[in-house]
Amino acid sequence: MKIKQISLFMENKPGRLSVPTRILAQNGIDIRAMYLADTQDYGILRMIVADTQKAVAVLEAQDFVVKVTEVLAVAVSDRPGGLADVLTALDGTGINIEYMYAIPYPHGDGAILIFRFADTEEAMTRLQAKGVNLLAGEEILQKK
Amino acid sequence: MGKMNSVTGIMETGVTDCHPASVPDYVPVEQLRELQLKRLQAVVTRAWQYVKLFRSRMDERGVTPEDIRSLDDIASLPFTTKSDLRDTYPYGLFASPMKDVVRLHASSGTTGKPIVVAYTQEDIDVWTSVLVRCFAGCGLHRGDIIQNSYGYGLFTGGLGVHYGAEGLGATVVPASGGHADRQIMLMKDFGVTAICCTPSYFLHLIDRAAEMGIDMHDLPIHTGVFGAEPWTDSIRAHMEKMSGIDAFDIYGLSEIIGPGVGCECRHHQGLHIFEDHFYPEVIDPETGQVLPEGAEGELVLTTLSKQAMPMIRYRTRDITRILPRRCDCGRTLRMIDRIGRRSDDMMIIRGVNVFPSQIEAALLQVEGTLPHYQIILTRVQGLDQLEVKVEITPTMFNDKIGAMQELNAKLQGALDRVLGIRVRVSLVEAHSIERSEGKAKRVIDRRGL
């Protein structure tokens, strides 16, 4: 249920983002989800890619510092309260969301929410106990 | 005709740099050389008698104090370096018993351990007298109100200048460093006529005053005595234009005595060395050979009258030359050029000595490994800025922004603590710092010194 995400450290300067994406393209690695967090000086590019291991290898070969972390993915239907329902499941658990981002759900309406928790294991147990359906990696990687 | 201080109502006479303390500035050269030789012989004897390091170094060379028969014989004596002070930390080079030492000062060293310097009352009196001669040479006198914006404490700048200004008979405003707004308020409200601080700090004060709607031309201040860091004639021109003051360069170092080893006079033709107390030589930093007058090299100083901590041929690492001309002021003291650079890797940032090794130590302390780094020095509105670029490593990197910002703050905190000055830390991509032959270029100095 846990999904591997890669993160890259990048300086905040023009043209920088195209470099890793081009490296992945040249190696035929599909980016399924991405999210860029930035400060004034640098950014952190987080991606879920089709082949994590290969992506790390090719990016590191080009001097990128890459980190692999685990995230959780939840499908949310496209209706008012869809996101609120998922977040409500975490209420009172003391579980902190480090960051989250969303991508379109490939199998119909709605979205996939990617969550990075401080404690992934704990969050997974809590969400599953509340009946929240966590997606497996393949479900994100599948295309329409 | 003098000008009246608008705050104190005292007439500025605008005359004379004659002060009783300045008499030695004008003694005939032959008499000065005689005095120097007599004092050199005495200080070498003292060092040989009481300081193990000097004695063993001289013994190794087969030199005894009796071998010093002329001033040229100084070349037979061994050099002393900053690492000698570190190696004998804290009291190893003292030539006086502790009961005769009335004060200690200290300055930062590369390893985080300071170097310690000691003064007997006589030493303090000499120090005060040379500063009186500095100030008198700058045209200051009794009636002047001198704001001392050097930091008070272990640093020699604060107390040294303080007692010098008092010795002159001037009124001292012991403002110490920092708090620009308050400094400007004091200058204005107290009718300050002269200021002592680092040149970059004064540039900052000019800018800050302008922001506060104060034009320094309208204040009674007419003189600035600036030292503890390298600065240029273009900076001088700028600050004089912006503030209307006459800006003087003062030179000194703790190992010798502190500020007051040399200073410009009103002719600004070079820095007069108070060579009745501090004997100057210029050497080739590679070979150690004494260079002739006029040739550029490393300044070496010998304290001729120091009691508590004599320094024999101390290598200052400051690059300059002994000027082959006499000043129009009539002083017989020789002059050196203003100091623009140093022969080692020490950086002087806002008057604080900084070594790359200190930065390495701070980086190591945070991460346990040493990332590639680069030091970038710039000068923004007259203030030195120190930026340390740190290449991100896999162990440092985290996908959470908060964790990265925390890392940044930790690095910054460690550097601030070690160096004692504000540092900006920039995290940069791995391998983004230019390397030449595998070695990173550690220091980029864009201050245009």
Nearest to B105 by CA among B136, B84, B127, B83: B127
The CATH class that applies to domain B3-34+78-343 reads alpha beta
The torsion angle over the Cα atoms of residues A86, A89, A92 and A95, rounded to 10 degrees, is -70
Q: Is B397 in Cβ contact with A10 (below 8 Å)?
A: no
pLDDT, averaged in runs of 10, over chain B (449 residues): 68 62 94 98 97 97 96 97 92 97 81 83 98 97 96 92 97 92 95 92 83 91 90 80 95 95 97 98 93 95 98 94 94 92 73 77 72 86 88 88 92 87 90 62 80
Helix H, strand E, coil C: the string for chain B is CCEECCCCCCEECCCCCCCHHHHHHHCCHHHHHHHHHHHHHHHHHHHHHHCHHHHHHHHHHCCCHHHCCCHHHHHHCCCECHHHHHHCCCCCCCCCCHHHEEEEEEECCCCCCCEEEEEEHHHHHHHHHHHHHHHHHCCCCCCCEEEECCCCCCCHHHHHHHHHHHHHCCEEECCCCCCHHHHHHHHHHCCCCEEEECHHHHHHHHHHHHHCCCCHHHCCCCEEEECCCCCCHHHHHHHHHHHCCEEEEEEEECCCCEEEEEEECCCCCCEEECCCCEEEEEECCCCCCECCCCCCEEEEEEECCCCCCCCCCEEEEEEECECCCCCCCCCCCCEECCCCEECCCCEEECCEEECHHHHHHHHHHHHCCCCCEEEEEEEECCEEEEEEEEECCCCCCCCCHHHHHHHHHHHHHHHHHHHCCCCEEEEECCCCCCEECCEECCEEECCCC
Task: Tell whether B404 lies on the interface with A, counting CB pairs under 8 A.
Answer: yes
Given this model, what pLDDT does residue B437 score?
A: 43
Rounded to whole angstroms, the Cα distance separating B249 from B134 reads: 10
Smallest CA–CA distance, residue A76 to chain B, in Å, is 24
**What pLDDT is attached to residue B177?**
86
Task: Locate the chain B residue with the closest alpha carbon to A41.
Answer: B426
pLDDT at B339: 86
Residue B40, both tokens: 């050199």
Spatial CB neighbours of B383, under 8 Å, sequence gap ≥ 6: B200, B201, B203, B204, B350
Please tell me which of the candidates B399, B427, B432 has its beta carbon nearest to residue A41. B427
- Residue B340: the pLDDT is 66
Question: Which residue ranges does chain A devote to CATH 3.30.70.260?
Answer: 71-141
Query: Residue B34 corresponds to which tokens in the numbers above?
Result: 């005689």
Cα of A69 to nearest chain B Cα, Å: 8
Which listed CATH number (3.30.2130.10, 3.40.1350.10, 3.30.70.1520, 1.20.120.160) goes with A2-69?
Answer: 3.30.2130.10
Whether A65 sits inside 8 A of B392 (CB atoms) is yes
CA of A100: which chain B residue's CA is closest? Answer: B400
- Per-residue confidence (pLDDT) for residue B394, from 0 to 100: 82
Contact status, residue B240 vs residue B294, Cβ threshold 8 Å: no
Q: Do B397 and A65 touch (CB under 8 A)?
A: yes
Task: Kindly list the residues from chain B whose CB atom is less than 8 angstroms away from the CB atom of residue A42.
Answer: 404, 427-428
A-chain residues near B424 (CB < 8 A): none
Give CATH superfamily name and number for B349-445: ANL, C-terminal domain (3.30.300.30)
What is the pLDDT at residue B293? 96
Query: Which residues from chain B sit within 8 angstroms of residue A9, using beta carbons?
Result: 392, 397, 427, 429-430
A70-112 pLDDT, tens digit each = 999 998 888 888 888 888 888 888 888 999 999 888 777 788 9
> Is 0.90 exceeded by the ipTM?
no
Where do the domains of chain B lie? 3-34+78-343, 349-445
**Bond into B371 cis (ω within 30):** no
CB contact under 8 A, B429 and A41: no
Please report the number of interchain residue pairs, chain A to chain B, with beta-carbon separation below 8 angstroms: 49
CA dist., res. B65 & res. B426, Å (int): 54
CA distance linking residue B306 with residue B311, whole number of Å: 8
CA distances from B220 to A117, B58, B223, B396, B429 (A): 63, 53, 9, 53, 51
Which residues on B lie below 8 Å from A64 (Cβ)?
A: 429-430
Contacts of A35 in chain B (CB under 8 A): none
Compute the nearest-CA separation of A70 from chain B (Å): 11
Spatial distance between the Cα atoms of A138 and B299, rounded to a whole number of angstroms? 72
For A71-141, which CATH class?
A: alpha beta
Write down the pLDDT at residue B145: 98
**Ramachandran area for residue A44 (φ above 0: left; ψ -120 to 50: alpha; else beta):** beta
A31-68 pLDDT, tens digit per residue, is: 989 999 988 889 999 999 999 999 999 998 888 999 99
Which residue of chain A has the CA closest to B396?
A65
B349-445 has the same fold as B3-34+78-343 = no
Residues 26-55 of A with CB under 8 A from B: 37, 39, 41-42, 44, 46
- What pLDDT is recorded for position B216? 95
Task: Answer whether B430 sits within 8 Å of A10, measured CB to CB.
Answer: no
Does residue B99 belong to the interface with chain A, where contact is any CB pair within 8 Å? Answer: no
pLDDT of the residue at B410? 92
